[in-house]
Copies of this chain bind each other. A is one copy, B any other.
Amino acid sequence: MAGDEQFKKVDAAKLEKLVAAIYAGLGVPTEDANLLGNALVDADLRGVNSHGCRYLSVYARNIRRGGVNLQPVLRTVRDDGATCLLDGDGGLGHVLAARAMKTAIGKAREHGVGVVSLRNSQHIGALAYYTQMAADAGCLGYTTTNAGIVMVPPGGREKVVGLNPLSWAAPTARPWSFNLDMATSVVAGSKLGMAQERGEKIPLGWAVDKDGNPTDDPQKGMEGGILPLGGPKGYGLSVMLDIMAGVLSGGRFGRGLGSKGSAQLFQALDIAHFIPLDDFKSRMEELIQQIKGSALAPGSKGIFFPGEIEYNLKQDRLRNGLPLDAFVRGEIKREAESLGLTYDIEL
């Protein structure tokens, strides 16, 4: 990461309002614009900068060029009780995804489990946002999406596999929930873009160049391809996630994904249909203490659960400000000024 001097801290609540105002200014209905503002700033607060406000202008450009249906009719193609298939009508991914997860949670309440397949959707940002909704509702939450075809399979040298992520979340008795949100690659694709923006090199082992050779140049890595986590395992996971998100939904998958949109799967499992939620949380606490209470490696700052560091960072940033780098501040400023919006944060 480059020097701290390029970072400036802003007030998260004010930033969220500005982001929402920008999208509203672009024609997004107020409620949807508010959700987008909340989701993007939440990602930044949790330290998932790769899926935060650095996407603001990506989505804005997509809206301007007519790539998003701002008044989508979310159609239920089929509903069989515990499962349903939705068609997102090319709407904003975050908005569709939040509604799909809400539907999955409702189904889980009634049937124990709810699975919602969503096609004709778009980029939905950080998956943890949706699985957290499920954890907050006393469910095990699961989300996957298909994503850009930027990964090279074992034995290949061509980008033919999506950098498909998954997220799983579970409630705990602590202030934070268990929340794992991970790409099936060695590294998130946006981290190559961030390294490039900042003029930084990437570690060897993240990507290969067009000829299949290891590279530390983010540009060459993007031209070549990103490597799957642990070779066959990350490759296998990634393909399965596209099967669940893309193939099953009847929507776009694999190389057909293009930039026209993507597909997702949302699942909620209502814990109370198995054991009482309080028992579950007590048992989670026992698991947490077993692991966090175990002996530390020399020099270790502690053992953390997925979602714990992100929660701690969010609390700190809500109190002390959210650091944004020069690139992201520039993007926000440009979008705000192009719409004639005033703002009371330092960009």
Contacts and interface: CB of A to CB of B under 8 A. Distances in A.
Contacts of A290: 160, 254-255
Interface in A138-163: 140, 153-158, 160-161
Given A274-B78, A294-B160, A247 B113 contact: no
B229 A230 contact: yes
A66 interface: no
A111 B81 contact: yes
Interface stretch (A26-34, A92-100, A215-223, A238-246): A238-246
A170 B240 contact: yes
B230 A250 contact: no
A180 interface: yes
Contacts of A212: 297-298
Interface string A187-210: 000000000000000000000000
B243 A302 contact: no
A286 to B, nearest CB: 7
Interface string A304-341: 11100000000000000000000000000000000000
A117 interface: yes
A236 B82 contact: no
A283 B81 contact: no
A247 B117 contact: no
Contacts of A254: 286-287, 290-291
B153 A269 contact: no
A300 B154 CA distance: 9
A347 interface: no
Interface in A222-264: 229-230, 232-234, 236-237, 239-240, 242-244, 247-250, 253-256
Given A230-B229, A247-B287, A297 B157 contact: yes
Nearest to A170: B243
Given A230-B186, A239-B306, A253-B283, A156 B296 contact: yes
